[in-house]
């Protein structure tokens, strides 16, 4: 299907922001937010603030009406009240606008007759005029390469992950949280009520997008199940697709209907559909980010045999349970591997060398590099997880310097050894721990290492990656 009309939304030459207030930064939050976001993200085209009172803001002339703008306008971001939507749509049609995004709520998600009729009327006008509509009730488009954003702190670095997100708030969170773990987006879109452009359109568009290698999606509901299945099947056959389906419980379905006016579906139906088409299903926003990290950074392990290395005896017991529960194997080391590890330590006092490996107090003295080298050379290990349980250890002070010493060993091992390796930074309690974690995970993803915030999350992500590979191989 041809979706070239969506290019005017993702790659507009000019953008008008309707509803920009010139009174103060605090007035008309929506309009000033989008204006600031476009300026921060470096939009290269023309930006036209619109307000009936005219004036000037941030060095830009404010036009009373979209029709008053002397040059062509490709895309309009509407931050005006829903009651004025039809008038704006008529003005956009007269101007020849190609796409419009309704940030405003007050449409079908209100579950009122008035809201539903208003949305249908606006979309009917759009179809008659050939205008594509994003929303209503959503944050719209984030396209770093094109300079489009809906929050001003968004990274203007482009990446390979696409995001389709029905919720505006979740889209903002996912973009911010994923950025902290090294994920950069090709395109992301919050599409709200989906009165026109919907999840099927966006899946098909991203399937053909050369900048998008991995597709992630948060979906509350769909209105055309058969078309969605076809779009999802096509997309998942060419690229990894990770889906978080919300609203499968009875109470969740009610919440989804009141949030975006969506029709939900049962847990069983969605589970069967996603498995049938070969999409990866996740159950939380954190798991969605974990899979974006996994597909972006982790080299495919040969199998599920996992070595776990870290500090903290009680922690290692939990780690073994987490790995086993997620479908990974934590094998006991053969005698030759155990002997090599023992030789490195000189004594096994205070350590556990059975897998998981707990170095305890010896960690700061021995370091991680030589241990990781032995594990990488072991014939019964496919993958190594290194965990930093920051706030439960009693490493010698200053702790941050000790952890940094161990982190440098991990970075060196990743550069020099061949088997896949991931890092888990967890059990954070104090402010200084969180600050170190942010710096450490940046060093890891800049080196190409996948970082997770729990062993359970890491184990599930690795298992899903392996299951994805097995499913693709079975269908090829």
Residues of the chain above pLDDT 70, percent:
91
Give pTM, 2 decimals: 0.93
**Max alpha carbon distance in the chain (Å)?**
82
Question: Do 268 and 315 reside in the same domain of the chain?
Answer: no
Residue at 152 is within a domain: no
Question: Do 466 and 331 reside in the same domain of the chain?
Answer: yes
Residue at 246 is within a domain: yes
Cα–Cα distance between 199 and 469 in angstroms, integer?
Answer: 25
Tell me what pLDDT residue 347 has: 61
Question: Do 232 and 320 reside in the same domain of the chain?
Answer: no
Tell me what pLDDT residue 261 has: 45
Question: Do 275 and 321 reside in the same domain of the chain?
Answer: no
Burial of 54 (0-12, 13-18, 19+ CB in 10 A): middle
Question: Do 127 and 228 reside in the same domain of the chain?
Answer: no
Question: Do 469 and 320 reside in the same domain of the chain?
Answer: yes
Give 401's pLDDT tier (boundaries 50, 70, 90): confident
Domain of residue 225: give its range.
163-176+191-204+215-297
Residue at 143 is within a domain: no
Question: Do 340 and 452 reside in the same domain of the chain?
Answer: yes
The total number of structural domains in the chain stands at: 3
Listed in order, strand segments (DSSP E) in 182-245 are: 185-190, 214-219, 241-245
Question: Do 317 and 450 reside in the same domain of the chain?
Answer: yes
Residue at 153 is within a domain: no
Residue at 182 is within a domain: no
**Candidate from 95-104, 145-154, 304-313, 436-445 with smallest mean pLDDT:** 304-313
Cα–Cα distance between 463 and 258 in angstroms, integer?
Answer: 35
Question: Do 170 and 226 reside in the same domain of the chain?
Answer: yes
Q: Show which of 264, 297, 330 is a domain's final residue.
A: 297
Q: What is the CATH number of the domain that holds 97?
A: 3.40.50.720
Q: What is the CATH number of the domain that holds 199?
A: 3.40.50.261
Residue at 110 is within a domain: yes
User: Distance of CA 53 to CAs 3, 21, 22, Å?
Assistant: 37, 9, 9
The mean pLDDT value for 407-425 works out to 96
Tell me what pLDDT residue 23 has: 72
Residue at 237 is within a domain: yes
Q: Show which of 297, 328, 355 is a domain's final residue.
A: 297
* Predicted confidence (pLDDT) per residue in 153-209, tens digit: 999 999 999 999 999 999 999 999 999 999 999 999 999 999 999 999 999 999 999
Question: Do 18 and 45 reside in the same domain of the chain?
Answer: yes
Question: Do 53 and 110 reside in the same domain of the chain?
Answer: yes
The mean pLDDT value for 425-434 works out to 86
The mean pLDDT value for 426-445 works out to 90
Question: Do 405 and 467 reside in the same domain of the chain?
Answer: yes
Asked if 288 and 282 touch (Cβ cutoff 8 Å), the reply is yes
Residue at 369 is within a domain: yes
């Amino acid at each position: 299907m041809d979706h070239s009309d969506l290019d005017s939304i993702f790659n507009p030459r000019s953008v008008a922001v309707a509803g920009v207030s010139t009174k103060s930064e605090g007035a008309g939050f929506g309009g000033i937010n989008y204006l600031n976001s476009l300026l921060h993200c470096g939009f290269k085209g023309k930006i036209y603030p619109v307000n009936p009172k005219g004036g000037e803001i941030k060095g830009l002339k404010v036009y009373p009406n979209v029709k008053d703008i002397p040059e062509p306008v490709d895309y309009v971001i509407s931050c005006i009240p829903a009651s004025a939507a039809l008038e704006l749509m008529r003005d956009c049609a007269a101007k020849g606008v190609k796409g419009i995004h309704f940030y405003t709520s007050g449409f079908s998600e209100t579950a009122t007759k008035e809201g539903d009729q208003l949305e249908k009327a606006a979309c009917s006008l759009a179809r008659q005029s050939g205008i594509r509509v994003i929303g209503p009730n959503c944050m719209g488009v984030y396209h770093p390469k094109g300079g489009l954003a809906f929050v001003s702190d968004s990274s203007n670095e482009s990446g390979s992950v696409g995001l389709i997100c029905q919720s505006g708030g979740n889209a903002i969170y996912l973009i911010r949280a994923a950025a902290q773990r090294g994920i950069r987006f090709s395109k992301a879109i919050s599409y709200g009520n989906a009165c026109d452009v919907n999840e099927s359109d966006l899946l098909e568009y991203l399937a053909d997008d050369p900048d998008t290698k991995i597709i992630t999606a948060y979906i509350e509901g769909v209105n055309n199940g058969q078309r969605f299945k076809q779009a999802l099947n096509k997309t998942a056959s060419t690229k990894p697709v990770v889906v978080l389906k919300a609203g499968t419980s009875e109470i969740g379905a009610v919440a989804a209907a009141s949030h975006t006016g969506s029709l939900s579906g049962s847990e069983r139906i969605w589970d069967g559909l996603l498995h049938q088409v070969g999409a990866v299903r996740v159950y939380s926003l954190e798991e969605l980010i974990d899979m974006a990290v996994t597909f972006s950074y982790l080299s495919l392990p040969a199998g599920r045999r996992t070595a776990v290395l870290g500090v903290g005896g009680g922690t290692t017991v939990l780690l073994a349970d987490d790995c086993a529960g997620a479908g990974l194997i934590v094998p006991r080391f053969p005698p030759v591997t155990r002997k090599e590890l023992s030789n490195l330590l000189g004594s096994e006092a205070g350590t556990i060398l059975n897998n998981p490996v707990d170095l305890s107090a010896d960690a700061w003295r021995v370091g991680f590099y030589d241990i990781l080298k032995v594990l990488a050379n072991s014939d019964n290990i496919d993958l190594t997880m290194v965990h930093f349980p920051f706030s439960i250890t009693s490493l010698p002070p200053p702790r941050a310097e000790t952890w940094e010493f161990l982190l440098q060993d991990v970075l060196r091992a990743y550069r020099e050894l061949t088997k896949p390796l991931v890092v888990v930074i967890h059990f954070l309690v104090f402010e200084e721990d969180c600050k170190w974690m942010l710096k450490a995970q940046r060093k890891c993803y800049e080196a190409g290492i996948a970082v997770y915030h729990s062993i359970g999350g890491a184990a599930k992500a690795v298992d899903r990656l392996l299951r994805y590979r097995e499913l693709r191989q079975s269908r090829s």
